[in-house]
Structures are given as structure tokens and as C-alpha cells.
Amino acid sequence: MKFKIHFLFFVFWAIFIILADTDFILCIFIAAAFHEAAHICAYTAFGAELDSVQLLPFGISATLKNAVALPCKKEIICAAAGPLANIILTATYFIPENIVYGSNVLAYCSFALFLINILPVMPLDGGRILWFTMLSVFPYKKAKKLTDTVSIITAASVLLAGTVTAAENGNISLLMIGSYLVIHIVFKS
């Protein structure tokens, strides 16, 4: 299995480290690792083989050796495993903070990853769920066109919301996510 680092990873995380608390960054990585471990467990439970793991600006991504290794329903389950893991990790909020250090920060980070990853934008889990749902209902070309259209509209909306949020209160997190999604869509086209 190969290990890769996306070229934007260092840029985005350098900005976060400069602007944010390192405990916060650690909690994001823990939540992302928990999220990706759930995907890996789901895929391996269905017998799929992993090709690579890649660090992305906002998480970790695992790639299968064969992109069509599983039927659509199993792919949907595997895509949903990550966000479901984040919801489970979010439940750590209910554990007293003296038992799990920083559990409230970890829970907030995990919930934020859930919200981001459930967006119907490729390559996010919500986009993959949308893609495999469309593929199970429509022919390939129509499924691709619908998924691409929803992805573009959603990514542009996130970028717009991020621009407004950054202008209003200086928080650039959503702007960075929207930028990454739009850049990803543009370079994948």
C-alpha cells in the first residue's frame, strides 16, 4: 500500500497552524483518522483491497486497487462509515472532560468533519453516496452529469458562504474548504 500527501496539504495546514491552537489541530487529525479507519474497516469487511492512503488538506483518503470493486449498495455503506464514525466520536462530548482530555474539542471537530464530509460534493463522502446512489438508478452518463451538477452547485455555495463568513467575522475555515472543493472539481474536469 502506498502513502501519499496531497500538494495542498502543507499549504492549508501551515495556515491553520499559524492561525489556530495546536490542540485543535491534533483533535482534527484524531477525528480524521477515526473517520478514515471506519472506511478502511468497512472496505476490508467487504473484501476490497486498498491501494493507497493520502493526506488531504482536510482529512485522509483511502483509495481502492479497483475503483469498481464493490456493488453500489456496499460502496454507499463504505462511504457512510466515515461520517457515522464521526457521529460516534461526537458522542464523546457526553463523557466528562476529566475522563477524556479535550473531549469537547474532539467532539466539535468530529461533528464538523461529519458536516463537511456529508456534503454532496465529489470527492467527499456525501458526493460518493450521491454518486453510487445515482449510479444504481441511472445510466452512467446521466448519473455522472447529475452528480457533477450537484457537486458544482454545492461547492460554489460553500465557497460563497465561506467568502461571506470570512468577510463578516474573519473566519476563513469555510472559505478554505470551499476553495479546496472548487479547485478539486476544476482540476478533475
- Long-range contacts: 11-15, Cβ < 8 Å, 24+? 11/57, 12/57, 12/58, 12/176, 12/180, 13/57, 15/172, 15/176
* Residue-range domain boundaries for the chain: 1-118, 120-189
| Mean local confidence (pLDDT), 54-60 | 74
pTM score above 0.85: no
pLDDT for the residue 80: 97
> What's the mean pLDDT when you consider all of the chain?
86
Q: Are 175 and 114 in contact (CB under 8 A)?
A: no
pLDDT for the residue 108: 87
